[in-house]
Structure 1
Amino acid sequence: MSVAAAFHDTFFAYALRLAFGSRFFPHPDEKELPAVWKSKHPAQTSPRDSDPLTLIDVPSPDVRSVASETTVIANTPAKTDPEKGQDTLLVDWYGPTDPDNPQNWSSGKKAWVMFQTCLLTFAVYLGSAIYTAGITGVTSEFHVSNVAALVGLTTFVAGYGLGPMVWAPLSEVPQIGRMPIYIFTLVMFVVLQVPTALATNYGMLMAFRFLTGFFGSPILATGGATIADIYAPKKRAYGMTLWGLFATCAPSLGPLVGGFAAHVEGWRWTIWEILWLSGATLVLLFFFFPETSAANILYRRAKRLRKLTGNPSIKSASEIAAAAMTPRDVAVDILVRPFALNFQEPIVLVLNIYIGLIYALLYIWFESFPIVFIGIYHWREQMLGLSFLGIFVGVFIVIPPFFAYLHYVQEPKYNDNGELKPEERMPIAIVGAFIVPVCLFWFGWTSRASVHWIVPIMGSSLFGMAALLLFNAVLNYLADAYPTYAASVLAGNDFIRSMFGAGFPLFAGAMYRNLGVGWASTLLALLSCAFIPIPILLYKYGERVRMASKRARHDYD
């Protein structure tokens, strides 16, 4: 990947082009036009006489003439729309190897984008769990109960559950794209950490915790859509796995990262740590994170070509579709669609509730760790974060065999177009579904003074394995089944799991104290057992349900 390619189409490049024009990081189609297009009124030149898109000094693009808003005629002369009285030239990729197409980027550039996506995901998810290390300090400074202090965790989680319902649909608007949403919200996320760390009362702290969660949220749902932008379905599961690795590890590392700082400097230092990490991430993304939305890239290409040729009939597919939409339609798409997909699509609703349950179990279960490792094993409070490393290790243990499964078992099932039936994602989810109750039973009944502390930690590693397998299978299933609405569907998934994760920890401590670690963990294990049939039924009957949906994709061979 060249230096120019590293900066191309980033927010930094946008800013330079806005200030100084196209001489900075120019696109190939911004080369000098032939003389025929430099006339005073180039728009009057008929595309039948000289096609503007084929005269540009770049490889010939794939241009299809649109005779109407519903009829596309490929590789034929342009035809006139009788209603508009003009030709419409549809701009597409410059052939199958177009370097602007994110799926044609080099492996190095894709890996660089993946790293930035994962880093941002890690920074935001870390912001939820790192707060728990300072709960004792919050209770003593603001004179509130432990449950009230824990609301700082739940408001943050609620914020990043609600946020994608707004930000994810906006990222699908071709005129906006994904990258500006990431940069704008990350700027707000970083700035709002300052009043959070300087909060002078309990209410102020809770309000800013919610706002930071809300503005930090886009990557938690749209990150999956970004990965789908740059990787073909056959390789997307690998990217989703790495993304899931960072998403799973951040909550388990949060108490460890914040524990020592909170013990020595107080709870406010946990917020300053988030500021430092997210601030460094913002600088990196500002200079190096490119736009990945194909719709946005083609929209901006069409704008450039109209400017270069003076031909107003040159349009992208998204512009043609938008012309038929009213402002009300746009508002409904942005604000209503994520909720509609979530509650009107049975597959989406069931999978979201299941993943929400797993997410809730994770946050409930975290509340048992102080009871076990401080109360039973008498660890010092600042050492508590080390007890979460079992989950972290479990994630890494499961990745090699999972990648082997993807390569040797799943990849041969792809069709000639590089596509896989969504239901083929479910076998690995079935495995993960059985691991969850085993983990909870193991942890609950080995957490006693007569058993060495390493044994429950070994049991906790199973949850890291299960979470990675389940999240990967479900998120890939949703992206495969609803590719047109990937960001909105994943936003709905984030919304449901975050609402579960926000509410359940509030009663977790009381449940573990009243029932005991063994029986409370058994209750959670039995609840997870009740949901095991979901991936099994989807594997067997999911295609039938999907074919009955108007929004799901049907054309898998």
Structure 2
Amino acid sequence: MTSAVASSWVGTLLNQASNGKIFPRPEQRPGFVVPSSLASASSSTAAASSSARPSPTTEKKKPFDSETTTICEQCPKKTIDNDAALDDVTGTDIEAALSQAQGTNTVARVVSESKTESSPSEKSTSSTTTDETIIVGWYGDDDPENPRNWSPRKKASVTFLIGLLTFGVYSGSAIYTPSIPGVMEEFDVGLTKATLGLSLFVLGYAVGPMFLSPLSEIPAIGRNWTYIPSMIIFVIFNIVASLAPNYSTLMAMRFWTGFFGSPALATGGASISDMYDGVGVAFPIAIWAVGAVCGPVLGPVIGGFSAMNLGWRWPMWLLTILSGVTTIVLALFLPETFEGYLLLQRAKRLRKHTGNAQLRAQSELDQAATSFASLTKESLLRPLIISIEPVVFFTSIYLGVAYACFYLFFESFVIVFTETHRFNLGESGLPFLGLAVSGVFTLLGYLWYLKSYFNPRFLAKAQRGIIIPEDRIGIALFASFFVPVSLFGFGWTSREDIHWIVPIIFSALLLPGVFLLFQSLLVYLPMSYPKYAASVLAANALIRSSFAAAFPLFGHGMFTKLGVGVGCSVLGAIFTVLIVPLWGLQRYGHVLRRHSKYAHVYSATS
């Protein structure tokens, strides 16, 4: 198995720069023997081609001169027409893949298996395409280079690194809040303009996935070439923000740091699902989500005391240090996980090793068939079109309101704990620890709940296709009641005559609601639109993050004019009303999907 360092971004660069001498891959090591299936298929195809020629004795044969064969130990096999196969991605193909991955919130990895098929009794690992191309796949079901065959320890370390990346970026939003008073004083701006630094960061990682996340699905780029360069830019822009000489520069850098940090938030789940099969992805996805939850929660805690003692710029310097160290660690130790990229690189090495130019990865063929115009449509136009689908639009609005309430706590906490309970700037971040504690217990409870995914009864239902998207909304309905209870309780106990621990307890109830809503609805959406999952998730991220970016701009004014109690009650009432259509979606969502040209209607045979 190639080590994590060897297959990391830095390791790959060194390998390519040294022509395979540093961190050599199996195909670059002395004594590497081409797998027998590949060699025999190549020979048989060459012989067949030779016998069909008019004058075989007059032609000079080159080593590995096959007219082309499809060789893939693991992918399905059949004779295909190459041009047709590149476009032959049907809903049924993707539904089959999805039924094996009920627990994931990212369903964008439907590749060569949807473009070929084989007879159940077919044992051969090769077949011939019309253009006689040899398709390079894994060397067997136990190929150690396949991320799904990595050891549990390596998978856990990769999950931890992705979570660390997500934590570092997500903390960048709320870590700015202790700097707001200093920004107001330094640049002589009002509260709304100073708060814009929070909103623009969130808006940046709402827009960023529309442009950057599709890059990770391009086989020539992969996950790491999306993560690492964007994080390097993220660090550089954070340095500029920390040194910003004027208000305009600071605001511009806050937007662009959010923009270039967005791949961690939108693609992290895809990296994890690259390594795990089926429902097994649910556990690591839930653990990875801890980084997304703890980032905004702990951001004010990290930045509060530094802003109080060292000045308003220091929270952003801390973010720069955290993200810089994270980027170095990822560049050195995060291995590439995207199958399309890994097999493309393997095909290149095999071509060089054998001299056979016909060796190709399926991802190369797919990439060659994808034009820039189609990529633009996929990443920009389709998410906008699909966002007006009733199911997508409502769930995105619902999550957007929940997300916005979460970020509005950053505004209300300043009023309640700084103005009412007289916390200093450093102490004002400590109430967020209540959210962190509730987040830990929520995660443990959710992991316990996920045990049901592995009981025989559930697995039997999943294999028969009986699990439908609306089954996922049950936990969202349960979670929805936490949000209004938290808002009403926090709002009406945030008084000077009530001890500060009481509103902290009520605020802590918000996190279970938000966390479980995300876990539920971000699985429901890809299940409802399996063929267009990437577009659906991009549209959802755009809508919900736009809500989160807008609400803090008027939050302080609303709480000041109406009072924290009335302001939280208004939000709680809105959220309570939205529970009714969520219940309707659970009951009648299948009807809406039946009338959609994008959604899939599941049946007992799906």
Normalization by structure 1: what TM-score?
0.90
What does 1:122-271 correspond to in 2, within 5 Å?
A: 122-271=167-316
Alpha-carbon separation, structure 2, partners of 1:311 and 1:139: 65
Which amino acid letter does the alignment assign opposite residue 268 of structure 1?
Answer: R
- Provide, for residues 528-551 of structure 1, a one-character-per-residue CA deviation record: whole Å limited to 9, x for no partner: 112213442333233443455444
Alpha-carbon separation, structure 2, partners of 1:489 and 1:106: 32
> Is the CA contact 1:169–1:335 (under 8 Å) kept in the aligned structure 2?
no
Alpha-carbon separation, structure 1, partners of 2:578 and 2:399: 10
Alpha-carbon separation, structure 2, partners of 1:453 and 1:531: 30
Partner of 2:524: 477
Query: Deviation of residue 409 (structure 1)?
Result: 6.5
SS at match of 2:148: helix
> Is the CA contact 1:224–1:487 (under 8 Å) kept in the aligned structure 2?
no
Alpha-carbon separation, structure 1, partners of 2:391 and 2:359: 39
Partner of 2:428: 384
Query: Deviation of residue 378 (structure 1)?
Result: 1.9
- Provide, for residues 55-105 of structure 1, a one-character-per-residue CA deviation record: whole Å limited to 9, x for no partner: xxxx89876543443364645764452xxxx31333333333333332222
Alpha-carbon separation, structure 1, partners of 2:189 and 2:319: 23
SS at match of 1:96: coil
Do structure 1's residue 450 and structure 2's residue 450 form an aligned pair? no
Partner of 1:529: 576
Cα pair distance change 1:404/1:326, threshold 3 Å = closer
Cα pair distance change 1:164/1:530, threshold 3 Å = same
Partner of 2:17: 19
Alpha-carbon separation, structure 2, partners of 1:458 and 1:469: 18
Which amino acid letter does the alignment assign opposite residue 377 of structure 1?
Answer: H
Alpha-carbon separation, structure 2, partners of 1:520 and 1:314: 64
Q: Which moved more, 1:97-106 or 1:463-472?
A: 97-106
Partner of 1:428: 475
Partner of 2:48: none
Alpha-carbon separation, structure 2, partners of 1:236 and 1:277: 28
Cα pair distance change 1:158/1:69, threshold 3 Å = same
SS at match of 1:378: coil
Partner of 2:331: 286
> Is the CA contact 1:441–1:522 (under 8 Å) kept in the aligned structure 2?
yes
Partner of 1:69: 83
Alpha-carbon separation, structure 2, partners of 1:24 and 1:385: 47
SS at match of 1:90: strand
Which amino acid letter does the alignment assign opposite residue 201 of structure 1?
Answer: N
Which amino acid letter does the alignment assign opposite residue 370 of structure 1?
Answer: V
SS at match of 1:9: coil
> Is the CA contact 2:70–2:136 (under 8 Å) kept in the aligned structure 1?
no
Q: Which moved more, 1:363-372 or 1:140-149?
A: 363-372
What does 1:366-405 correspond to in 2, within 5 Å?
A: 366-405=410-449
Q: Which moved more, 1:534-543 or 1:34-43?
A: 34-43
Alignment RMSD (CA, Å): 2.8
> Is the CA contact 1:138–1:267 (under 8 Å) kept in the aligned structure 2?
yes
Query: Deviation of residue 218 (structure 1)?
Result: 1.0
Cα pair distance change 1:334/1:42, threshold 3 Å = farther
Cα pair distance change 1:43/1:196, threshold 3 Å = same
Query: Deviation of residue 482 (structure 1)?
Result: 4.1
SS at match of 1:315: strand
SS at match of 2:360: strand
Which amino acid letter does the alignment assign opposite residue 320 of structure 2?
Answer: L
Which amino acid letter does the alignment assign opposite residue 103 of structure 1?
Answer: R
Q: Which moved more, 1:68-77 or 1:244-253?
A: 68-77
Partner of 2:383: 338
> Is the CA contact 2:76–2:117 (under 8 Å) kept in the aligned structure 1?
no
Alpha-carbon separation, structure 1, partners of 2:26 and 2:347: 13
Normalization by structure 2: what TM-score?
0.83
> Which residue, 2, 5, 9 being the options, matches 2:3?
5
Query: Deviation of residue 484 (structure 1)?
Result: 5.0
> Is the CA contact 1:134–1:270 (under 8 Å) kept in the aligned structure 2?
yes
Alpha-carbon separation, structure 2, partners of 1:410 and 1:52: 36
Determine what percentage of the aligned residue pairs are the same residue.
Answer: 41
Alpha-carbon separation, structure 1, partners of 2:278 and 2:574: 33
Partner of 2:62: 41
Which amino acid letter does the alignment assign opposite residue 66 of structure 1?
Answer: I
Do structure 1's residue 508 and structure 2's residue 547 form an aligned pair? no
Alpha-carbon separation, structure 2, partners of 1:20 and 1:418: 51
Name stretches of at least 5 consecutive residues in structure 1 with no aligned partner.
none
Which amino acid letter does the alignment assign opposite residue 438 of structure 1?
Answer: V
Query: Deviation of residue 385 (structure 1)?
Result: 0.4
Name stretches of at least 5 consecutive residues in structure 2 with no aligned partner.
44-59, 86-115
Alpha-carbon separation, structure 2, partners of 1:454 and 1:417: 48
Query: Deviation of residue 452 (structure 1)?
Result: 1.3
Alpha-carbon separation, structure 2, partners of 1:103 and 1:547: 34
> Is the CA contact 2:66–2:358 (under 8 Å) kept in the aligned structure 1?
no
Partner of 2:485: 438
> Which residue, 566, 586, 595 being the options, matches 1:519?
566
Alpha-carbon separation, structure 2, partners of 1:213 and 1:327: 25
